[in-house]
Amino acid sequence: MILAYAGSSARNHTAEAAAPALDPNWWKGAVIYEVYPRSFGDTNGDGIGDLKGVTAHLDYLQKLGVNGIWMTPFSPSPQVDFGYDVTDYNAIDPQYGTMADFERLVAEAGKRNIRVITDLVLNHTSDQHPWFRESRSSRTNPKADWYIWVDGKPGKPPNNWLSIFGHSAWQWDATRQQYYYHAFYKEQPDLNWRNRQVRDAMYQMIRGWMRRGVAGFRLDAVPQLFEDPQRQDEKYLPGLTAYGDRQETRVHTDNLPEVHEVYRELRQVVDAVPGTVLIGETYLPNVEELAQAYGPNHDELQLPMDTQYGMGSKLSAELFRAKLRDAETRLNGNMPLFVFDNHDNRRSWNRYGDGKHDDAIARLIATLLLTPRATVLIYYGQELGMSNNDPKSVDQVKDPIGKIGWPKDIGRDGERTPMQWSASANAGFSTAKSTWLPVAPNYATVNVAAESDNPGSLLNYYRKLIRLRKENAALRDGDLRIVDETNPDVLSFVRSANGSTVLVTLNFSSSPRTVSYASAKIGIAGRGLTALAQSFDSAPPPASLDKLVLPGFGAYVGEVR
Ligand code: GLC
């Protein structure tokens, strides 16, 4: 779907004093697993996941090999946008548990060497947040300027700006007799980030979570933090959106230069505990803008998401080669953050799958994710081959954009269904009669219990690649060099460190391909190969660089001898 102020107040030493020590580099090359708490584990039988349900499954995550979990929001919320509409940033929504549950989750995760990253919804609050209630109560109250208020006449919004979730981005408020701006739902009014008090309130809140042992933050919708103060109209583009609005540019509302000032301030706040990481939800149109999000002096976000790499739907060796090259050469030596799946996009199984070779394609994607030099995000269930379980009719839809956009945009329910733990009722997610979203029908075979026992499962392929990322020096620390630059179907690269070299070769075609990398040609010493991982069992592993035969969509990882 979607989808340089450095004040002294940005520093705080109490956070440093109270928080546990962090390895400052823990996030470099880490595997970070996105947990959607509502759908991960339900321990109180209400059909909705909870914090104890995450704690209960930490052993599974440890065995998978993850270094961190990113938890999507669990603070009090009317749940219009399932937690991305916060009413109290410093508390836990009772449907997910208590602060003691959260503290226990952090402690138990820590015992397993898993860090906890929380979601920070900075751009907007819920319209039920006390700040907004106060702000909307008059034009003169102390928080009157905390949101984006503009005069106008009823029925005539100040300009043509559109909400990302459809229709005008302006909502008339009868009390103030003014419009407020909302980049997302009207129940999510945008905060005014030009207001110093807003910033300081947010930074104070962040320090509180650092004291609770949080090792980083995923910054929600940060390109949307600022809008053009002149409020100029956007230009119309051809065609209509899924919501039936005229298409238009978003140059006055997205990724304004001012966001970098806030990135630097946020970085100063988290640098009070070195190693606290900032992950950006940075849907950016090109690698230049992505590079800027790291900051000219590596002083902004450590890990802005590279949404260009895996968020598309076209399986093409040439395309992935170009993106890999961009990430290697155009991010100023910063660590790329690769991602294929999250709670806002159709699962990669459905986006990249062709309906015939889905399992092989899922392994190709796992290899594309886990073997380059990058920190990576895995979305719960991706490692099992979970697929979308989409609503069949509009009355089944829970996600409001699916109601607004049906049938062109069916919403995000399909990629948020319960985690599939076993073949028992509700896939082992919950003992409730029914769950908040229906469990996908394939849970009888696509589940943790079944796949754990099967050495050839996708889950065990993920486990193997994650283990290799830690144990193999070239995959862990090595640089990355693309070889076979012009092959239209096969993407190959080598990773090398301390005299050890690993070759990764990926066939993007549905039929077999043979490649030959005589060592001189790719500039590496040695021609023998020892398989470290391969996605197929139909063919014997290639023994030498002279001839590698890859089945359709085959992925091969081997050490050069
Ligand atoms: C981000 C979240 C998405 C949410 C939106 C508005 O894009 O990932 O789920 O709807 O922000 O908060």
Which residues make beta-bridge pairs with 494?
Answer: 481, 503
Residue 153: per-residue pLDDT: 78
Is the distance from CB of 495 to CB of 508 less than 8 angstroms?
no
The pLDDT tens digits of the residues spanning 358-405 come to 999 999 999 999 999 999 999 999 999 999 999 999 999 999 999 999
pLDDT at residue 381, as a whole number: 99
> Whose C-alpha lies nearest to ligand 1, atom 12?
84
Question: Is 502 in contact with 465 (CB distance < 8 Å)?
Answer: no
Residue type present at position 107: A
* Pocket test residue of 86, 125, 184 for ligand 1, highest count of atoms within 8 A of CB: 184
119, β-bridge pairs: 218
Between strands 68-71 and 115-121, the pairing is parallel
Ligand 1 atom closest to Cα of residue 85: 12
Instruction: Please identify which of the residues 34, 81, 93, 220 carries the catalytic annotation.
Output: 220
What is the position in ligand 1's atom list of the atom closest to the CA of 124? 12
Query: CA-CA distance, 390 to 379, in Å (whole number)?
Result: 17
Provide the percentage of residues in the chain whose pLDDT is more than 90: 92
The reported pLDDT for the residue numbered 20 is 59
The per-residue pLDDT for 352 is 98
Q: How many degrees, rounded to 5, is the angle at CA 327 between CA 289 and CA 119?
A: 65
Q: Among 220, 281, 339, name the best residue to mutate to test ligand 1's pocket (greatest count of ligand atoms within 8 A of Cβ).
A: 220
Residue 463 exposure: Cα atoms within 13 Å on the Cβ side: 17
What confidence tens digit (pLDDT) does each residue in 95-105 have?
999 999 999 99
Q: CB of 497 closer than 6 A to ligand 1?
A: no
Residue 520: strand, helix, or coil:
helix
Sheet of 500-507: strand order equals: 479-483, 490-497, 500-507, 555-560, 529-534
Mean per-residue pLDDT, 110-127: 98
- State how far the Cα of 83 lies from the Cα of 103, in Å rounded to an integer: 19
* Residue 415 in contact with ligand 1 by CB distance below 6 A: no
What mean pLDDT is predicted for residues 215-244? Answer: 97
Ligand 1 neighbour 187 (Cβ under 6 A): no
- Please name the helix (run of DSSP H) or strand (run of DSSP E) that holds residue 217, with its range, or none: strand 216-220
Closest atom of ligand 1 to 185 CA is 6
Angle between helices 258-270 and 196-211 in degrees, nearest 10 = 30
Q: With bands split at pLDDT 50, 70 and 90, how would you rate the model's confidence at 279?
A: very high
Mean pLDDT value across residues 339-345: 98
pLDDT in tens, 31-61: 999 999 999 999 999 999 999 999 999 999 9
pTM of the model: 0.96
- Of the candidates 12, 522, 455, the one whose C-alpha atom is nearest the C-alpha of residue 276 is 12
Q: In angstroms, rounded to a whole number, what is the distance separating the alpha carbons of residues 206 and 270?
A: 8
Let me know if 281 is a catalytic residue: yes
What is the rounded CA–CA span in Å between residue 277 and residue 377? Answer: 14
Q: Which atom of ligand 1 is the closest one to the Cα of 344?
A: 9
Average pLDDT over residues 285-290: 96
Q: The tokens of 443 are what?
A: 């849970």
**pLDDT of 11 above 60:** no
The yes-or-no answer on residue 151 being catalytic is no
pLDDT higher than threshold 90 for residue 73: yes
Question: What pLDDT score does 9 carry?
Answer: 37
Is the minimum distance from the CB of 220 to ligand 1 under 6 angstroms?
yes
Residue 2 above 50 pLDDT? Answer: no
| CA 85–ligand 1 middle distance (angstroms) | 9
Whole-angstrom CA distances from 525 to 35, 228, 520, 560 are 43, 56, 8, 8
Question: Can you tell me the distance from the alpha carbon of 149 to that of 527, in angstroms, rounded to the nearest whole number?
Answer: 67
Which amino acid, 256?
A: L
**Ligand 1: distance of its center to the CA of 84 in Å?**
6
Residue (of 307, 312, 313) closest to 336 by Cα position: 307
Ligand 1 atom nearest to 84, measured from its CA: 12
Residue 515 contacts by C-beta under 8 Å, 6 or more apart in sequence?
A: 484, 487, 490, 492, 505, 548, 550
**Which ligand 1 atom minimizes the distance to the CA of 123?**
12
- Given a cut of 90, is residue 538 above it in pLDDT? no
Q: How confident is the model at residue 496 (pLDDT cuts 50, 70, 90)?
A: very high
Report the separation in Å between the CA atom of 485 and the middle of ligand 1, taken as the mean of its atom positions: 37
What are 399-436's pLDDT values in tens digits?
Answer: 999 999 999 999 999 999 999 999 999 999 999 999 99
- Spatial separation of the C-alpha atoms in residues 118 and 497, rounded to whole Å: 33
Q: Kindly state if the Cβ of 34 falls inside 6 Å of ligand 1.
A: no
pLDDT of 182 higher than 80: yes
Question: Do residues 433 and 446 make contact, with C-beta atoms less than 8 angstroms apart?
Answer: no
Q: How far is CA 111 from CA 18, 62, 105, 116, in A?
A: 18, 10, 10, 12
379 lines ligand 1 (CB under 6 A): no
Pocket test for ligand 1, best of 84, 127, 412 (most atoms within 8 A of CB): 84
What pLDDT score was predicted for residue 268? 98
pLDDT of residue 8: 33
pLDDT at 498: 87
Task: Work out the average pLDDT over 140-149.
Answer: 98
Q: Answer yes or no: is the C-beta of 344 below 6 A from any ligand 1 atom.
A: yes
- The pLDDT tens digits of the residues spanning 151-165 come to 987 789 999 999 999
Band (pLDDT 50/70/90 cuts) for residue 333 is: very high
- pLDDT for position 522: 80
Catalytic residue among 190, 281, 328, 409, which? 281
Q: Ligand 1: does its nearest atom lie under 6 Å from the Cβ of 84?
A: yes
Q: Is 2 in the pocket of ligand 1 (CB under 6 A)?
A: yes
Distance 347 CA to ligand 1 centre (A): 16
Contact 41, 299 (CB under 8 A): no
* Cα(82) to centroid(ligand 1), Å: 9
**pLDDT value for 10:** 36
Which ranges constitute the DSSP H helices of 458-557?
458-471, 473-477, 519-522
Task: Show the tokens assigned to 263.
Answer: 């990135």
Quote the DSSP letter at residue 314: -
In one-letter notation, the amino acid at residue 331 is L
| Predicted confidence (pLDDT) at residue 499 exceeds the cutoff of 80 | yes
